[in-house]
Amino acid sequence: MLGHAQYAATLRAMQAYTHARREDTPDVLWLCEHDAVFTQGLAGKSEHILQAGAIPVVKTNRGGQVTFHGPGQVVAYPMIDLERAGYYVKEYVFRTEEAVIRTLADYGITGHRVAGAPGIYVRLSDPTSHAQLPQRPLRRTPGSAPPTPDFTDVGKIAALGIKVSRHCTYHGVAFNVAMDLSPFQRIHPCGYAQLRTIDLAGVGIRTTWQEAATRLAMHLQRRLEN
């Protein structure tokens, strides 16, 4: 675990590690906590940043739109050689999301997926309910338009943003534990004006950053193994 780490320096280190990788370079998992920062993905639009104020905005080369990192959030950066692992990007995203779902389950909270919106969500009216969301991903007819995300009665607790270079991943997943969520109100999180963001503390779970990071790391390691 890196612990507290400056975002820009961590990004440079991830890029350097990935650029220098060879066939025998080991996969690694970095876990850290960043100072307050807005990060803008490759698809990011400036209108989704409403009022940055004193919080810096860093443009990155990950996928996705704008999000917020800050104290009380576990940020996990798996750097995996997918070719060596034997699975593709969609499977990598699924496995990463599944690790968050298993971490939430450790705390008695049910994690959900929402069609058309990567990441993991919690039902606001009953965070422990196992009932399926009506807006969960469903089988689509080939060639049909992607679904419009429906954020009714859900809050986003974990956001994904990844980059794959020469079949190697970096960037990763941000898991909200106990943080000041107010900066999310100064952006459209992940590009959605109607999206609410929550953390473990907001659904009644009291835990430490270290414990949540340890649990998430364990589940990521299990899920990302080939």
Q: d(Cα 137, Cα 97) in Å, to the nearest integer?
A: 13
Q: Of 190, 203, 216, 220, which one is the catalytic site residue?
A: 190
| Three state DSSP letters for 3-45 | EECCHHHHHHHHHHHHHCCCCCCCCEEEEEECCCEEEECCCCC
Q: d(Cα 98, Cα 179) in Å, to the nearest integer?
A: 22
Q: d(Cα 15, Cα 12) in Å, to the nearest integer?
A: 5
Distances (CA, A) of 70 to 96, 178, 220: 21, 10, 21
3-state secondary structure of 189: helix
Copy the structure tokens of residue 188: 């459209």
Q: Catalytic: 190?
A: yes
Angle at which helices 209-224 and 89-106 cross, to 10°: 140
Catalytic positions, please? 190
